[in-house]
């Protein structure tokens, strides 16, 4: 089993953005584990997993651990390349299952205030092609070259249903109640937790690159 790097932080903290920036600058091969993307894909393919996950996702709730843990932990163990995990573990139960399986990750905690998350969700558009999933903004941070069209694959850009303001508020509450306690569990096992202030994109990008390359 390879090294595992966990990207941690509120939903909408900008983990995915920092990650795609970094991946453009490196030749190293990583196995990117995004449970959110995996679930969205399962829904698009209308698999049993997708059908089970849908109701939780649309409410901004977490999909139960017994559905997530098996799939993700087996995937991590089988990986031949270092893993970057965006969105796992997100509960104490998931963290415990990961640690019990002998996976001791490095954690990078991306910190931003709630109002930044709310604003980013308001400004985010994503590629409707689930196999692409590229993210853009309606502000001038990362607009597509042609309005409403993905630069990478030419498909249409849409809003994510879980970027709806009410759903975002619920996701932030779920983060505080269920996800934040993961850090304490990790630290109690001696896992190193690095912190990046992700409200300053430029500084955060440099800090993330330094951690990943260091
Ligand atoms: P994300 O794209 O990471 O924000 O994830 C979108 C949705 O997928 C979340 O709101 C959850 O419903 C579900 N999800 C993603 N990761 C997990 C996880 N580790 N455990 C449970 N549900 C998850």
Between the CA of 171 and the centroid of ligand 1 the distance, in Å, is 9
Domains of the chain by residue range: 4-213
CATH superfamily membership of 4-213: P-loop containing nucleotide triphosphate hydrolases (3.40.50.300)
- Three-state DSSP at 7 gives strand
Pocket mutation for ligand 1, best pick of 83, 87, 180 (most atoms within 8 Å of C-beta): 87
- Measured from the CA of 61, which atom of ligand 1 is nearest? 12
Beta-strand ranges (E) seen in 57-164 are: 83-86, 106-111, 124-127, 135-137, 157-158
Catalytic sites, residue numbers: 15, 90, 124, 160, 171
- Measured from the CA of 34, which atom of ligand 1 is nearest? 3
Between the CA of 38 and the centroid of ligand 1 the distance, in Å, is 9
User: Would residue 196 be called left, alpha or beta, if left means φ above 0 and alpha means ψ between -120 and 50 degrees?
Assistant: beta
Alpha-carbon separation of residue 113 from 90, 125, 168, 193, 214 (angstroms)? 18, 21, 13, 19, 27
Cα(first)–Cα(last) distance of the chain, in Å?
Answer: 20
DSSP letter for 149, please.
Answer: B
H-helix segments, 1-45 = 15-24, 35-44
Q: Is 15:110 a contact under the CB 8 Å cutoff?
A: yes
Pocket mutation for ligand 1, best pick of 13, 57, 86, 172 (most atoms within 8 Å of C-beta): 57
Between the CA of 187 and the centroid of ligand 1 the distance, in Å, is 22
pLDDT of residue 1: 52
Q: Which residues line ligand 1 (CB under 6 A)?
A: 11, 35-36, 39, 56-57, 60-63, 68, 87-88, 90, 94, 162, 171
Q: What is the pLDDT along the chain (214 residues), one digit of tens a residue?
A: 569 999 999 998 989 889 989 999 999 999 999 998 899 889 989 999 999 999 999 888 999 999 999 889 988 988 999 999 998 999 999 999 999 999 999 999 999 999 999 998 999 999 999 788 888 999 998 999 999 999 999 999 999 888 999 999 999 999 999 999 999 999 999 999 999 999 998 999 999 999 999 8
| pTM more than 0.95 | no
Q: Is 13:201 a contact under the CB 8 Å cutoff?
A: no
pLDDT of residue 161: 84
pLDDT of residue 2: 60
**How many other CB atoms are found less than 10 A from the CB of residue 24?**
7
């Amino acid at each position: 089993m390879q090294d595992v790097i966990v990207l941690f932080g509120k939903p909408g903290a900008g983990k995915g953005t920092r990650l795609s920036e970094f991946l453009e600058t490196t030749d190293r091969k990583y196995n990117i584990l995004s449970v959110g993307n995996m679930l969205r894909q399962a829904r698009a393919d209308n698999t049993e997993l997708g059908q089970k996950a849908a109701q939780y996702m649309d409410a901004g709730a977490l999909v139960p651990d017994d559905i997530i843990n098996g799939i993700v932990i087996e995937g991590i163990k089988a990986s031949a390349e270092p893993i970057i995990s965006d969105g796992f573990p997100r509960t104490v139960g998931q963290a415990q299952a990961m640690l019990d399986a002998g996976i001791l990750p490095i954690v990078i905690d991306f910190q931003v205030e709630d109002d930044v998350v709310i604003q980013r969700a308001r400004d985010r558009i994503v590629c409707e092609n689930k196999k692409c999933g590229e993210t853009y903004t309606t502000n001038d941070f990362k607009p597509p070259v042609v309005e409403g069209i993905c630069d990478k694959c030419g498909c249409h850009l849409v809003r994510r249903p879980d970027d709806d303001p009410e759903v975002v508020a619920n996701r932030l509450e779920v983060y505080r109640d269920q996800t934040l306690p993961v850090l304490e569990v990790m630290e109690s096992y001696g896992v190193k937790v690095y912190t990046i202030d992700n409200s300053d994109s430029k500084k955060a990008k440099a800090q993330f690159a330094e951690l990943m390359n260091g």
